Chain A
Amino acid sequence: MSITLTSPVLAALGGVWALLVAATVVIWRLVPVPDSELRQRIRSWWLIVALCSLALTFNRTAALVFFGMVSFLALKEYLTLIPTRQTDRQVLFLAYLSIPVQYFWISIEWYGMFIIFIPVYLFLLLPVAMVLRGETEGYLRAAGTLHWGLMSMVFSLSHLAYLLVLPQNEYPQVSGPGLVLFLLLLTELNDVAQYFWGKLLGKHKISPSVSPNKTVEGFVGGVLTTILLAALLAPWLTPFSRSDALLAGALIAVAGFFGDLSLSALKRDLGIKDSGNLLPGHGGILDRVDSLTYTAPLFFHFTRYFYF
C-alpha cells in the first residue's frame, strides 16, 4: 500500500533538509574541532533525517518496518541497561516478538487490538511465562521492569506509527505522514528549544536531583517556542483549528519535557550517563526517543479524540 503524500508534507520535509544543511554550515564554521560532540550530533541528525524521509515517502510498509526497528532498538537498549534474570531469557525473547505483532495490528488497522495487546494481554501473559519458569526470587521486579519497557518502547512509540493509518477521508488535505512529521518535528524542536533557552537564560533549576541542566526558563521558553511552531505548521500538516493547534503545541512541549525527565530518572537510578553509543554524540537510541515515549501516545489520543 502506498502513502499519499500531500505537497505540504514534501514542503515540510524540504524545510527539514534545508534546516539541516543550514545547521551543518553554521556548526562547521563555529566549531573547528573535527570530532567535537556538536559535529557528531549533526552527523547523527543526517542519518536520522535521511532514514525518516525515506520511511515516510516510500510506502506504508516501509514506514511501519522503520518504526518497528526503532521500537526494537529502544527495547534492546533498555533491556541491556536494566538487570535481567538469566531464567527469563525465553520470556525476553517473547517480549521482542511482540514488536512485529504490535506493528502488524497497525498494518491491518485493527485499533481495538492495537490498544489492548500490550497493556492487557502481554501484561497478563509474560508474567505467566515467568511463573512457569519457577523462579520466584526477583519475580515482581522482573515482571514490572519488563512491562515498563514494553509500554514505553513498544506500546507508546507505536502510536507514532498508528498516526499513519488513521482514517483520513474527512480531511483530504491531511495525510498520515503529515501528522507523523508534525509530531516528530515539534517533539525534537521542543528538545532543542528547551536546551537553547536554558543555555541562554537558564537560572532556576526545575528538577536538580533528576536533571540538573533543566531550568524553569528553558522549559517556559521551550513551551512558548513549540506553541508558536505548532501554530505555524498546523494549517499545513494537520486538521487542527487555530486554538487546537496551540493546545497540541503545549501538549507536546509539556509531555516531551516529562518524557525526557522520566528517562533521566531511569538512568540516574541505574547509575549511567549515556545509554549507548549507537549514534555517535547522542548517547543512544533511548536519548532520542525519551520525549517521544510521552508525546506520541498523548498527541495521538488528542488528535484521534477530537478529529478522527
Chain B
Amino acid sequence: MRYAVLRGLFFLLIVKPFLLLAVGVNVRRRDRLPTAGPAVIVANHNSHLDALVLMGLLPWRLLFRTRPVASAEYFLSNRWRAWFANHVIGIIPVATSGGPSRAEILGPVREALAAGDIVIFFPEGTRGAPEQLGKLKTGIAWLAQQLPTTPVCPVYLHGLGKVLPKGDWLPVPFFCDAWVSEPLYWRGDQGEFMRMLAESLGPQIEAG
C-alpha cells in the first residue's frame, strides 16, 4: 500500500494526540473488539470523528486493514476530499441514494470482507442529531446474511456529536464514551438481527 505511511503518520501525529488531549474517549469492554479480520464494526453516527475514533481503537497492525464505508456522493464530491478519503483514510465509497441493487451497492464491501479486511459501517447511513439513533438501514443485515461467519461488532458512541456535530467545523473538547457489545452473527431472521443491533447501539447498562 503506497499510502500506508501517510495514514500511519496521520493517525500518529494528528488523530491520536487529538483524541487523547481534546476528546478523551473512555472505552468499555475494549476486549470485545475484533483482533483480526474479517470483521464488521458497526456504530451509531453523529460526527466525522466517529470513523477516526473507531479506527484509533484498533491496534496499529489492524489500522492498515481497516476501511470505513462512506458515502460516495459526499466524500468524492471534490478532488481534495476524494484524494484524502480514498488514500489517507482508505474509505470504501458506496452510493447512498437510489439507483442500483443492494448487491451492486454493497458489493465492494463484501469483497473487502472476503479479502480479510475490517470494515467500519454506519447503518444509519448518515450523521444524525447528537445522542439520537436514526432509523437503521437493513443493508447491514444483508451483509451479515451473505457472510454468516463474519462477526458484526456493535459499538455505541456517545458525545462525539457534541465535539464535532454535523455541519460544524470547530471541534470543542468534551469527554466521550464508547461501549463495545458482544459480536452479532446472522441467525436467519432479519427483524431479530436489526432489533439486537438497535439495542447495542443505544445506552448500555453496565454489567459487572
Chain A interface (Cβ within 8 Å of chain B)? 72-73, 76-77, 79-80, 84, 86, 89-90, 92-93, 96, 276-278
Contact = CB atoms under 8 A, between A and B. Distances in A.
Given A86-B162, A96-B173, A277-B26, 17 more contacts: A73-B24, A76-B174, A77-B175, A79-B173, A80-B159, A80-B174, A89-B168, A89-B170, A89-B172, A90-B172, A92-B172, A93-B170, A93-B172, A96-B172, A276-B26, A276-B175, A278-B175
Given A76-B173, A79-B174, A96-B173, A278 B24 contact: yes
A76 B168 CA distance: 19
Contacts of A278: 24, 26, 175
A96 B174 CA distance: 11
B159 A86 contact: no
A119 B203 CA distance: 38
Interface string B65-95: 0000000000000000000000000000000
A212 to B, nearest CB: 22
A234 B58 CA distance: 50
Nearest to A69: B21
A92 B168 CA distance: 14
Interface string B100-123: 000000000000000000000000
A116 B175 CA distance: 29
A32 B172 CA distance: 42
B165 interface: yes
Chain A at the B interface: SS class:
helix
A90 B159 CA distance: 17
A76 B170 contact: no
B165 A76 contact: no
Contacts of B170: 89-90, 93
Interface in B14-48: 24, 26
Contacts of B159: 80
B207 to A, nearest CB: 15
Interface residues of B, number: 11
Interface in B132-146: none
Contacts of A277: 26
26 contacts: A72-B173, A73-B24, A76-B24, A76-B173, A76-B174, A77-B175, A79-B173, A79-B174, A80-B159, A80-B174, A80-B175, A86-B162, A86-B165, A89-B168, A89-B170, A89-B172, A92-B172, A93-B170, A93-B172, A96-B172, A276-B26, A276-B175, A277-B26, A278-B24, A278-B26, A278-B175
A86 B166 CA distance: 12
A276 B159 CA distance: 13
A150 to B, nearest CB: 14
Nearest to A277: B26
A280 B173 CA distance: 21
Interface in B156-208: 159, 162, 165, 168, 170, 172-175
Point out which of B24, B165, B170, B175 has the most chain A C-beta atoms below 10 A from its C-beta: B175
A84 B172 CA distance: 12
A178 B26 CA distance: 35
Contacts of B173: 72, 76, 79, 96
A35 to B, nearest CB: 11
Nearest to A89: B172
A277 B165 CA distance: 24
A154 to B, nearest CB: 14
Contacts of B24: 73, 76, 278
B57 to A, nearest CB: 16
A121 B24 CA distance: 29
Nearest to A73: B24
A273 to B, nearest CB: 11
B20 to A, nearest CB: 11
A130 to B, nearest CB: 14
Contacts of A76: 24, 173-175
Contacts of B172: 89-90, 92-93, 96
A163 B49 CA distance: 39
Contacts of A77: 175
A207 B24 CA distance: 34
Contacts of B175: 76-77, 80, 276, 278
Nearest to A94: B172
A86 B162 CA distance: 8
B162 to A, nearest CB: 8
Contacts of B165: 86
